[in-house]
Structure formats: structure tokens, C-alpha cells
Amino acid sequence: LASEAVTMLEIEADIIEAAVDRLAQGELLAVEPLSRGGEAVYLRSLHTAEVGASRRLAGLLSSDVLPIRIDIQRAIEWFESREEIALAPAQREAVGKAITSKVLVITGGPGTGKTTLINGIIQILEKKDRRILLCAPTGRAAKRLNEATGREAKTIHRLLEFSPKAMEFMRGQHNPLDADIVVIDEVSMVDAVLFYHVLKALPQHCQLILVGDVDQLPSVGPGSVLREVIGSGVVDVVRLTEIFRQARESLIVVNAHRVNRGEMPLLKAEGQDDFVYIEREEPDEIVALIKDLISERIPERMGVDPLDDIQLITPMHRGLLGARNLNAELQALLNPRGASIMRGSRMFRVGDRVMQIRNNYYLEVYNGDIGRIVDIDDIEKMVSVRYEDRVVSYEYSDLDELVLAYACSIHKSQGSEFPVVVMPLHTQHYVLLQRNLLYTGITRGRQTVVVVGSKRAIAIAVKNSKIKTRFTRLAERLTALASQS
């Protein structure tokens, strides 16, 4: 940390060290010695969250599951008969552990039956009068969970009853959730602080089921919760690896798993498959083709709306193939007229697809939420955006929280699925071409994924399995606490 700060700020190392000491004494930083030498430096809030989460999770693990009289084998057979399906061995194992484990992690890629498994667990445990709450980090992910299970699913913020007036969660250790089991989907998106708030709100008897794909990109916020919880070795983990027959027919699923194994995806030209690759080498050619695909070819072939059903995702923000330029190109193509407002260099128009880029607890809109501008009131200085469940009014001064969302970064698309995904890949993106980035991008498409670009860029991404280090000690703390109990 100190050496990077010296280089970035071009000042002496002793100035940095003195500043860190002052901040630590002033409670802004927490400094811990490491067993291997050196020190870990945290923002105080992140240190509190990590230490608190490890203690809360260890506390859950040390307490017993509510007693339940159930024949697990018969319960599984009942669910299989009811749904006319056969669970895979790993799914059967997960059902059993969901009944007996205080904390369970279920991880697997697309097509491995996570949704079927969650449904089975819910149906079996509801028969035993267990109170089950479902949640996910984003509105889109919560909606998908609701559609998949037929049960109410909330965002984590709504589950914990965030109060914009008090600027805090109403659910916590003094007002815990009324639940026997809490299921969190898309846990790879949950950051360290939000995870701590969830754990604080769980009653001591509660079971926790964490569902996600550990091979996707980590959360936008700090920490690497899912990877660290698994890596601690102290919780039960079920890894779903079998791809089901119906999913094996999807080239999206097949290619996602090929990429995850470090293999080149099957690159087929346009046809009947749900994964299409179109080779282009020059960035300007890629831009021209993307515009044609989104405005004409895909809507005509699939009968989809280019504004609502097609999402362009790209590795970068800057450059010809970055989200900023592609948003400007697509806005001019898809929504060229209408009432508008300029904010700095950005123009917003009625009808534009936009994304919230940071949490606004007062308006109850969160990082990654996507909506459409429905009104610009120049007299009241307000812009109204329709999200999935309501209309939110922004003052002009709040518009720096919005960006156009015809295109977005692959990181920002995490946790969402779209009917059609178009993804440019070029060596211009060299620095960001990583296996987990490509894997995450491919898995965003529900019906069709179209990759436009160079085979060399795809090969670079597939070969680059390096994961950027996240400095966190959650796994280490969990392991240490478990060894003490």
C-alpha cells in the first residue's frame, strides 16, 4: 500500500507512513499485524464488517439446527414425483445438507440445476412449517428468484427494511428477521459490508443457504464473500457440476463451461444455435456491425425490442469499443429525438435506457438498477425514471448517479440476465481480457448471446485465469474461530 502510494503521489515514504499512523489513531483506519510479516490496513468500517461477519457466522455454526422429524430419502422422492424429475446425486446431497446444516453453500454454473434444487429445498421444508425468506442483492436477481420459485423474493435491502429517513437497516441484532431459513441467491455479488448486515439480522436458530457461482466476477463492492466462505473450509459446500440434458442442448451453457475449464468456446456463425460468433478484426467494423445487429437484424429475426430485450455488454468503459462510446452511438441510433437535458458531456432523452451507478438509499435505487426515462420536467427540474416496480423522480443535481445503459460493462451486468446479449471482444480490451470476465459475460444471455470480434481476443481471455487479488482475511478469521470452538 505504502509503495503504491509513494509512486502514485510522488512523495516520500515516511510521509505516507506518518499519515497512516495518524489515520489509525483517529479511528479512520484499522491496522493489524500479519502472521507472515507486515501489516493489514483496513478502512475501519470494512474491518468492523469483516471481523463482525466472521464472528456472526462462527456463532451460527456453533449452534444447533432446529430439530426436525423427516425422512430425507422419502422427502426427495416426494419432490421428484411431484415435479416429474430426477435429482442428480449432488442435488440429493444438497437437499440433505439443507435440512441438517446450519450454513450451506450451493455453487454451480449455468445448467447445473441450482434453481431446481432451491425449489426442492423450499417445498420440502415448507411442508415442515419452516419460515423461509428469499433474497438477492439486486432487484433483477430478486425478480428472477421470484419467477423461478413462485415465492416472494426481496432485495437484501428490502429484506432488512432499510430506512432512508434513518439511513440504516431496521432489521438487525435487536430486531432480527422472523425466519427459520434465509436463502440468498447470487451471493458472488454480495460485498463484505452487506453480508455483515445480513448476518446481524439472523436469529440464532436460523439456517443460512448461500447460492451462487463462485467462478463469476467478484462483487463490485469490497470483499470476496462467496470465495472466502468456501475457502475457509468451515461450512458445508455442495458443488453442482453435472449439466442437465436440456441445458446441454444450449450452446450458451456448453460454451460457458468450456471457457470455465480453459477451453475455447465453440465458435459458430449465424444459424439455429443460441450462441453466435461473428468475426471482425477492426474496431470500427465491430461498431458498425453491432449497430446493425441491435437495430435491425436481431429484432427482425427474433421479434424482440432493441430497447428492452437486447443488452450490449463490453469489458471496458473507454475507447471505441467501450461502454461510453457505444452508448452514444446507440442513443443516436435508437432514440435520436425527444425532450432532452445535457449534464456535462452527457445527454439524457425521454425514452433512454439508463442505469443507476451507486446506491441511493433515500430514493431506494441501487447500483446496477436499470430503467427508462419517462419524463423530463424542465420547470420542476426533475427527471422521472421507470424501474420495474415504480417510477423514481430525480432532481437535476442527482443525475450524475445515472448513465446511459444501452451498453454497460460486463462487471455492471453481473447478477442480471437479458433475453439477448451482444458482446464485443477485441485485443483493444487486452488488459481486461480474463476468463472469469468472459464466463460472466456469456452467462448473462438467456435466449441468445452474440459475440463480435477477434478469435485472438477470445483466446487471450480463455487463457488468462488470473484472478485479481482481493485483500481480505474473512476465510482466515473463520478458520481460526472454528478451530477455537
Query: What single string gives the DSSP state of each residue in 88-103?
Result: -HHHHHHHHHHHH-SE
DSSP secondary structure code for residue 162 in this structure: E
**Does 263-463 match 50-243+469-484 at the fold level?**
yes
pLDDT number for residue 1: 63
What nine digits make up the cell of 341? 437535458
> CB atoms < 10 A from the CB of 208, how many?
23
Which residues does 181 contact at the CB level (< 8 Å), separation at least 6?
125, 130, 131, 132, 133, 206, 207, 208, 209
SS3 label, residue 237: strand
Q: What is the pLDDT at residue 62?
A: 92
The confidence score (pLDDT) of residue 259 equals 97
Chain Cα centroid distance, residue 12: 39
DSSP annotation string for 327-353: HHHHHHHH---SSEEEETTEEEETT-E
170-179 residues labelled b (16+ CB within 10 A) or e (exposed): ebbeeeebeb
Q: Which of 187, 224, 182 is nearest to 106 (CA)?
A: 187
CB 97 within 8 A of CB 106: no
One-letter-per-residue 3-state SS of 117-148: HHHHHHHHHHCCCCCEEEEECCHHHHHHHHHH
Contact indicator for 176, 203 with CB cutoff of 8 Å: yes
Only one residue has cell 446444516, namely 101
What is the pLDDT tens value at each position of the chain, 485 positions in all? 667 776 777 777 777 777 777 776 777 888 888 888 888 888 999 999 999 999 999 999 999 888 888 999 999 999 999 999 999 999 999 999 999 999 999 999 999 999 999 999 999 999 999 999 999 998 888 988 999 999 999 999 999 999 988 889 999 999 999 999 999 999 999 999 999 999 999 999 999 999 999 999 988 889 999 999 999 999 999 999 998 877 778 999 999 999 999 999 999 766 668 999 999 999 999 999 999 999 999 999 999 999 999 999 999 999 999 999 999 999 999 999 889 999 888 899 999 999 999 888 889 888 889 999 999 999 999 999 999 889 999 999 999 999 999 999 999 998 889 999 999 999 988 888 999 999 999 999 999 999 999 999 999 999 999 888 889 999 999 999 988 86
- Virtual torsion, Cα 253, 229, 356, 42, nearest 10 deg: -140
Query: CATH assignment of 263-463, given 3.40.50.800, 3.40.50.720, 3.30.559.10, 3.40.50.300?
Result: 3.40.50.300
> What is the C-alpha separation between 77 and 463, in angstroms, rounded?
42
Say what the pLDDT of residue 14 is: 77
Tell me which H or E stretch contains 407: strand 407-409
| CA–CA gap between residue 288 and residue 139 (Å, rounded) | 33
Q: Which three cell numbers stand for residue 364?
A: 431506494
The CA distance from 125 to 440, in Å, is: 32
- CATH for the 50-243+469-484 domain, from 3.40.640.10, 3.40.1180.10, 3.40.50.300, 3.30.1280.10: 3.40.50.300
* C-alpha dihedral (201, 204, 207, 213), degrees to nearest 10: 50
**Single pTM value for the model:** 0.89
The enclosing H or E element of 58 equals helix 44-61
Predicted pLDDT at 17: 77
Domain boundaries, the chain: 2-33, 50-243+469-484, 263-463
328 CB neighbour count, 10 Å cutoff:
16
